[in-house]
Amino acid sequence: MATLKEVAKLAGVNISTASRALNDSPSISAATKVRVRQAAEELGYRPNLSARALSGKGTGAIALVVSDIMSPVWNILAGGACDAASAASVPALLYCAETDADYLDRVLPEMISTGAAGAVLGLHLSEEAQRKTEASGLPAVLAECFPLAGLPAVYSSRYDAAREAAAYLQQKGAKTVVLVTVPGFDMAYNKGCADALKDTGARLRVLTGPNTYQAGFALGYSLADELYGPTGIVAVCDGQALGVQHALQNRGVRVPQDCAILSLEDSVLATATYPGLTTMSKPLYRIGAKAAEKLLLKIKGQPVESECLRHTLTVRKSTL
Amino acid sequence: MATLKEVAKLAGVNISTASRALNDSPSISAATKVRVRQAAEELGYRPNLSARALSGKGTGAIALVVSDIMSPVWNILAGGACDAASAASVPALLYCAETDADYLDRVLPEMISTGAAGAVLGLHLSEEAQRKTEASGLPAVLAECFPLAGLPAVYSSRYDAAREAAAYLQQKGAKTVVLVTVPGFDMAYNKGCADALKDTGARLRVLTGPNTYQAGFALGYSLADELYGPTGIVAVCDGQALGVQHALQNRGVRVPQDCAILSLEDSVLATATYPGLTTMSKPLYRIGAKAAEKLLLKIKGQPVESECLRHTLTVRKSTL
DNA sequence: CTGAAAGCGCTTACAG
DNA sequence: CTGAAAGCGCTTACAG
């Protein structure tokens, strides 16, 4: 790789002039800039980011941490953040951290050591983890994680999604709404459903199980025996939703006629099934992208605010 | 962040001694090593990777390039590579490149500029792109991409997967095997199926369409009219396979009794459907992990060989 | 508008 | 076994 020194030599200027020309400093004559740029072009010059980092500017690299890149949900968020980073031509470092402890003990120190300019935090972080991140001084913005400390976040409202989903099903005729969720998950889902059904005469049931297709299937199988009258299911994850759906269909329950199903995710699973799964889709790609954009602003010292992005209802065939 | 200088001061040694102690140089007394390490621990010292990179060692960061992190296939490969990198505690830079041109014009120069020590190339690269990568001097290993130039690769055999899939269906009674593939895809799939059916009396049909559920659905719909006798479908991707399956079922074709379906991927889609999709699964996670491990070896100067990893047959309910 | 110099935090010959 | 010094490739006050 050509270095700045060689570029400067070819352009016949001092290395510091070359540096300024390439960084578009206002105190450099247009003629010089042109000359230096041509030289850089000719040599295929690419700045060494490590050197740049060391001399003050930082590599500009941002870290992207998600709980699991292999999940068909977090990978979308990562995709949005990655695209935003590449649009701004800053490198993106990928980290996976499944637990708070792993994040705090391993990932956070590693990010700092690597010289990341900031981090997009696309995973569920406790208040303590959020506080410690802020205390570390590393600029960070949360992605699809509710802000509990001072860090800004880009996220979608689970409460709203659940409330609108339950309301939608109730309006379509459901007398019973079943919320299928995961033990330990955000209670905002429960509250949203409950609020939507208040004073409607429809009742709410809550079923919990692991976030998997198999668990949903088991839940659906037993649910089939207890279905009386028009029912709507709000599932917190696509996998669960499909498991429930297939078990019900297997037991002779017609979807959506006897029982409608709506998921609060919107992964590949939602479209690759028949009948297609209706979803209140989280804008994960945009959340990832926006979080990265805000991070870049924050790194530049600009103030950034938290932002709640709207989900959108995508009606497919699992609801009326 | 504490610097090496502060650690050295606290340990009462010269900075170069501190550096060597931390890097476990053989020419440092055990007692000194202990002292320096305690000092580092006490200060929460973390080496500045940019500085290290600049002074010769490289950041050690490896680049991870995939065609699309949002795909439920490539994200698994990325997950394997990411885990391997973190096990070796080297940072992983994530890049997405959908085309050869984007890879060559944007990603490759960026990786070099960022000072990546090497790259795991988890995308389909033409011979030219492979050659240019090698010429760039950046250590690289291909992941799930057939080696066409000098770069080593970790991949699975498409020919074998297709051949075994077709043979399996034929043995289960299929008189016609339909290969559902994507225009422009590797012809090894076609050849594998053809070879498997040679001299069996079973015939091969090839249908092509985009790699999507919708395209598969359309294909399946028209295929339903032309089904005579026991048929087996080998689909190159899960999305297509499911589309075909659902369309057939929709048209009254029983899966697997009238028509068996086998996919050559094994994404989340395969398990989150009913009946479950039988697959000849590519070991994508292991491919990603192994490619990263080999890359790390290659960076250290050790010779590495290409390796073909076996797929495994996962029988679910879409075949007899 | 441009140049000479210092410095970022490390590693690694070179002495001792 | 340890220290003093040079150097990696940049950026940025400080002079001029």
Of B284, B255, B316, B312, residue with least CA distance to B120:
B284
Residue B58 — pLDDT band, cuts 50, 70, 90?
A: low
- Does residue B55 lie in a domain region? no
Contact A285 B70 (CB under 8 A): yes
Same domain, yes or no, for A144 and A81?
A: yes
- Tell me if B235 sits within 8 A of B263, measured CB to CB: yes
Same domain, yes or no, for B201 and B166?
A: yes
**Does the beta carbon of A69 lie under 8 angstroms from any beta carbon of chain B?**
yes
pLDDT tens column, A31-64: 899 999 988 888 888 888 788 878 866 667 899 9
**Does the beta carbon of A110 lie under 8 angstroms from any beta carbon of chain B?**
yes
Q: Is the pLDDT of residue B3 over 90?
A: no
Q: What is the least distance, in Å, from the CA of B197 to any CA of chain A?
A: 30
Same domain, yes or no, for A145 and A193?
A: no
Q: Is the pLDDT of residue B239 over 90?
A: yes
- The CATH number linked to B223 is 3.40.50.2300
- Does residue B83 lie in a domain region? yes
**Does the beta carbon of A88 lie under 8 angstroms from any beta carbon of chain B?**
no
pLDDT tens column, A122-179: 999 999 999 999 988 889 999 999 999 989 999 999 999 999 999 999 999 999 999 9
Q: How far apart are CA B229 and CA B173, in angstroms?
A: 10
Give the count of beta carbons closer than 10 Å to the beta carbon of residue B19.
Answer: 19
- Does residue A191 lie in a domain region? yes
Same domain, yes or no, for B254 and B271?
A: yes
- Does residue A15 lie in a domain region? yes
Contact B94 A96 (CB under 8 A): no
Same domain, yes or no, for A146 and A180?
A: no
Same domain, yes or no, for A185 and A273?
A: yes
Q: Strand pairing of A278-281 and A259-263?
A: parallel
- Does residue A319 lie in a domain region? no
Please, what is the angle between helix A188-197 and helix A158-171, to 10°? Answer: 30
Tell me the average pLDDT across B244-265.
Answer: 94
Average pLDDT along chain A: 92
Same domain, yes or no, for A150 and A163?
A: no
- Tell me if B50 sits within 8 A of B59, measured CB to CB: yes
Same domain, yes or no, for B178 and B140?
A: no
Task: Report if CB B171 to strand C is under 7 Å.
Answer: no
Average pLDDT along chain B: 92
Q: B263 contacts in A (CB within 8 Å)?
A: none
Same domain, yes or no, for A163 and A259?
A: yes
Same domain, yes or no, for A172 and A239?
A: yes
Same domain, yes or no, for A37 and A102?
A: no
pLDDT value of position B57:
65
- Does residue B318 lie in a domain region? no
**Does the beta carbon of A258 lie under 8 angstroms from any beta carbon of chain B?**
no
- Does residue B316 lie in a domain region? no
Same domain, yes or no, for A239 and A293?
A: no
Dump the DSSP string for B274-288: SSPPEEEE--HHHHH
pLDDT value of position B238:
95
Nearest CA in chain B to A44: B109
Number of domain units in chain B: 3
- Does residue A24 lie in a domain region? yes
Of A310, A287, A312, residue with least CA distance to A152:
A287
- The CATH number linked to B35 is 1.10.260.40
The domain in which residue B92 lies consists of 62-156+284-311
Q: How far apart are CA B92 and CA A99, in angstroms?
A: 19
